[in-house]
Amino acid sequence: MSMPAPASDGFVFFGATGDLAYKQVFPALQALTRDGELDMPVVGVARAGWTLERLRERARESIARYGGGVDERAFERLCARLQFVGGDYHDPATYPRLRQALGGARRPLHYLAIPPSLFATVVQGLAAAGCAADARVVVEKPFGRDLASAQALNRTLHEVFPESAVFRIDHYLGKEAVRNLLYFRFANAFPEPLWSREHVAAVQITMAESFGVKGRGAFYEEVGAIRDVVQNHLFQVMALLAMDPPARTDPDAMRAEKLRLFRAVRPLAPAQVVRGQFRGYRDEPGVAPDSRVETFVALRLQIDTWRWAGVPFYIRAGKCLATTATEVRVALRRPPVAVFDDAPAAPANYFRFRLGPEVEIALGTRVKRPGEAMQGEAAELLAHRSLEGGALPYERLLGDALHGDASLFTRDDSVEAAWRVVEPILARDAPPAEYEPGTWGPAAAAAVLAAGERWYDPSPGLAAKGAPA
Ligand code: BG6
């Protein structure tokens, strides 16, 4: 294992007055301060016109709303460290002021909560003002909008920062449930002999949201479901499910396995994909009246490895669906011979990972129903259930980045490999199929399934059903 990297000694966030800072960054900063992880200058950068006082007020508001309430002691400590640098990102004079605000900090972390079109200007400004040497840079998704733009962004960042200093955030990887999925797979020996084409029939990953685009129509028009949640969040989940066990525990061993996996996923053909759009999306502010952007997608992935050849991996994601739930179901093959009469109709055994809103891990089995007949019913062996997600994803991820731990961040080669998979389906040649809000998307979504398969319904988790803890 390599030597642990030295911790960052300053925290800078660009886009300090923006939405991301408001919803995610301030709550994470309070939590990190409370845990004693942020004993360093904290500098918010945004265009001129704001004051430190106003930024503090905004931080308070943000934390009250999204951070589980203001912890006065931690908040006071955070405010004491918080500084504001206002200036145009295109103005070279902005960066020396940042350098000054950082004081003696020599290894700052720069979080770019700004549009990617500004990355080049900002990283060059940082370099020119002596803020980039030994520094780290954290960037947000969407990381590019296709393979070429992701490669261009990587080149831009690499002009100033080596890859080891670049941290690409995918907040899904910071979720407790997603980390538990990884833990469950590799901390237990019993799943591994089942975890291949020998025993797995199909894998389904569903990310359903019952709400729409929440006023983010203009943003959503630029992305759509494939770019918003599939190429990143759900591909990361798929990779954790499908990758081989890493040989070591260091971040690069894990990332190497993920990369191997992404490279083995066959680029999607249009016939493997169904796109949908909820009725009413075109009336959202910021959305074109003839928009072809998908708010729903269902697709079938093929993984060309000895472990997975022939096992379909299905992904389904959408807005305005029947419920809000993210769930993975790894369906096992049926017993080779039916011993009991009810066998053909019975669902096969499965592993179920509920990633949200609750966290659950369960194994679906059949047991005999009491009585004379050899008739069965479904029973789940529940390995884990929790209503709590642990630390906020951003708190965990920003804390890891400050320590230089890249395990939960995506590397340039993986991001590019993931774009390669979706590249053939990014063109919006055909209009998406319309679906009614509150349903499971267009009926055509069934077309991506193999014969005899159906989409499972990520019914309310056990927690919602009131099952005992
Ligand atoms: C974001 C997407 O990255 O993830 C949103 O832009 C989506 O469209 C969100 O709603 C889902 O994240 P979570 O953590 O609420 O499941």
pLDDT in tens, 116-133: 889 999 999 999 999 999
Q: 259 is written with which tokens?
A: 């990369």
- CA-nearest of 137, 201, 126 to 168 is 137
Picking from 49, 150, 435, 44, the residue whose alpha carbon sits closest to that of residue 276 is 435
Q: Is 403 a catalytic residue?
A: no
State whether the beta carbon of 421 lies less than 6 angstroms from ligand 1. Answer: no
For residue 228 and ligand 1, the question of a CB distance below 6 A is answered with yes
> In order along the chain (469 residues), what is the average pLDDT of each group of 10 residues?
79 96 96 96 95 96 95 97 97 97 97 92 96 96 93 96 96 93 96 98 98 94 96 97 91 92 97 97 97 98 98 98 96 92 84 94 95 92 82 92 94 97 92 97 97 87 49
CB atoms within 10 A of CB 19: 11
Residue 464 is predicted with a pLDDT of: 53
pTM tops 0.85, yes or no: yes
CA of 24 from ligand 1 middle (Å) equals 12
CA distance 343 to 453: 16
Check if 356 has its Cβ closer than 6 Å to any atom of ligand 1: yes
Q: For strand 273-278 and strand 350-356, is the pairing parallel, antiparallel, or unpaired?
A: unpaired
- Over the stretch 375-422, which tens digit does the pLDDT of each residue have? 999 999 999 888 766 678 999 999 999 999 999 999 999 999 999 999
Distance CA(146)–CA(419), nearest Å, equals 6
Does ligand 1 have an atom closer than 6 angstroms to the CB of 389? Answer: no
Strands (E), 131-248: 136-139, 166-168, 200-208
Question: DSSP characters for 309-378?
Answer: TT--EEEEEESSBS--EEEEEEEEPPPSS--STTGGGSPPPEEEEEEESSEEEEEEEEEEPSSSS--EEE
HSE value, Cβ hemisphere, 13 Å, CA-based, for 236 = 28
Q: Of residues 171, 233, 384, 403, which has the active-site annotation?
A: 233
- CA trace torsion 232, 163, 7, 137 (10° rounding): -60
* Distance in angstroms (rounded) separating the CA atoms of residues 325 and 210: 9
